[in-house]
Chain A
Amino acid sequence: MSIYLQNELRKLKKKIFSQCTVVEESLRFAIKALLNKDGDTADKVIEKDDQIDRFEIEIEEDCLKMLALYQPVATDLRLIVSILKINSDLERVGDLAQNIAQRAKALVNLEGEIPDFDFNGMCNLSLKMLNDSIDSLVDLDMQKAQAVIDTDNEIDDMNSRMYDIFVEQVSKDPHKMKLYLNYLSVSRYLERIADHATNISEDVIYMIEGTIVRHAE
């Protein structure tokens, strides 16, 4: 029975890694579309989301099948449970990348930027957190996973700064409300992507150590 399970686990890992690649690429393109106000790239991201959704369901079904058929324990159990959870985080990141792409499309027709805010920096940090969480999963690297968790506050701070700037700019320049609202939404999406990267890292730690580090202060 072990050989069957080990083969299934190998296939499952391969699938989740390829979902990681697709989602990461989706986010990268969404950010590119946003920063360059590039509608075509944004469309590609939006089209990709269906594939991510279908693959999420396939991975979930595989996990459920393995739980039912093999009743795994210890490392095997932790691996499957973690992948089940990481899978839904990745799908959510895919949705958020699609949301960013939609904002990017809206911004194509709007003149200007949000002032006094390092939007590039926020996009890059969010993408880096996702990349690092995926690397921690692939390499089973506890330190890298912990570093992602530790970075989450930075993104939260950026998002609240963005909110303050939004309020300030809207009162100064109310006719640019639409423009600023789009940036505010993207900031919120990036902050949520960072949350999902944090969740993935927490699940990686659980997978390696068997310790639930969620909600730990």
Chain B
Amino acid sequence: MEEEIKIRSEKLDFFYGDNQALFDINMNIPKGLVTALIGPSGCGKSTYLRTLNRMNDTIFGTVVKGIVEIDGVNIYNKSTDVVTLRKRVGMIFQKSTPFPKSIYENIAYGPRIHGSTARKDLDMVVEKSLKNAGLWDEVKDRLNKSAMGLSGGQQQRLCIARALAVDPEILLMDEPASALDPKSTARIEDLIGELKGNYTIVIVTHNMQQAARVSDKTAFFYEGELIEFGDTKKIFTKPDMQKTEEYITGKFG
């Protein structure tokens, strides 16, 4: 079956001032699947992830060359509305970042700034998002309590729920489980599996086994270059490139 392409980057270079962090990245990320970005620290995987919703724009002195298309439209066009872009392309970070507000307000915040104000609509969004993030049953009786009282794993799922609340098409996850215990990690990984299909997910992870478990496609980055991109099953059993083999078998990095 032919995969539908959701995100396409072509000849993508990225610079932090004079320092080039990405070199000529060409990659087609399929729709509705999970793509894992792996590679040693400083290889450019998180930088690449952040080019997909223009999060790097917030860093002074950065320069992007080349193309990143979502559904065939270059997101670096002058006409792109970055707020709308980030609504379509949600992001979850390594460290959970709940707002110091109630659980309910954390979820309702996004929809509210995008124009939903009716309490009934917001109630529905909050419930749906928390259910999709697998958190509803744990928090439904304390929606008005502070989100800061949740456990680390729950906070991370709250952040996923918050991202889901604005109805995104793509979820970017930057090491979403690296600060969590094994049980919470497993919960996040299960959730990624449940969300797949409805969302295109791109995940950066240092945990090779996690990449192998959750993703359909894997991209290996090294020193700012995309070394190999392909089916996860193939990358972890018989990669084509020697460098990939050496990295995933722990011979360097």
Contact = CB atoms under 8 A, between A and B. Distances in A.
Contacts of B239: 74
B251 interface: yes
B251 A73 contact: no
Contact of B236 (A1, A2, A5, A74): A74
A2 B238 contact: no
A72 B238 contact: no
B228 to A, nearest CB: 11
Given A73-B208, A73-B237, A74-B238, A5 B248 contact: no
Contacts of B248: 73-74
Contacts of A72: 249
Given A71-B209, A73-B208, A210 B249 contact: no
Nearest to A70: B250
Interface string B226-253: 0000000000111100001100111100
Interface in B18-41: none
A75 interface: yes
Chain B's interface size range is: 10 to 19
Nearest to B211: A73
Chain A interface category by residue count: 10 to 19
Interface in A67-85: 71-78
A72 B208 CA distance: 10
A86 to B, nearest CB: 18
A1 B212 CA distance: 18
Contacts of A73: 208, 212, 236-237, 248-249
Contacts of B236: 73-74, 77
Contacts of B208: 71, 73
A74 B237 contact: yes
A6 B249 CA distance: 10
Contacts of B237: 73-74, 77-78, 210
Interface in A1-28: 1-2, 5
Interface in B207-234: 208-209, 212
Contacts of A74: 236-239, 244-245, 248-249
A79 to B, nearest CB: 10
A73 B220 CA distance: 14
B208, B209, B248, B249 interface centre (most CB from chain A within 10 Å): B249
Nearest to A81: B237
Given A75-B245, A210-B237, A210-B238, A2 B209 contact: no
Nearest to A1: B250
Nearest to B252: A2
Contacts of A1: 250
Contacts of A77: 236-237
Nearest to B238: A210
Interface string B199-210: 000000000110
A78 B238 contact: yes
Contacts of B209: 71
A2 B208 CA distance: 13
A2 B245 contact: no
A214 to B, nearest CB: 16
A76 B249 contact: yes
Interface in A49-108: 71-78
Given A73-B236, A73-B237, A74-B238, A2 B251 contact: yes
A80 B29 CA distance: 32
Interface of A: 1-2, 5, 71-78, 209-210
Given A74-B248, A78-B237, 13 more contacts: A2-B249, A2-B250, A2-B251, A72-B249, A73-B208, A73-B212, A73-B249, A74-B236, A74-B244, A77-B236, A78-B238, A209-B238, A210-B238
- Which 7 pairs show the lowest CB-CB distances between chains A and B? A210-B238, A2-B250, A73-B236, A73-B248, A76-B249, A71-B209, A74-B245
11 contacts: A1-B250, A2-B249, A2-B251, A73-B208, A74-B238, A74-B239, A74-B245, A74-B248, A77-B236, A77-B237, A78-B238
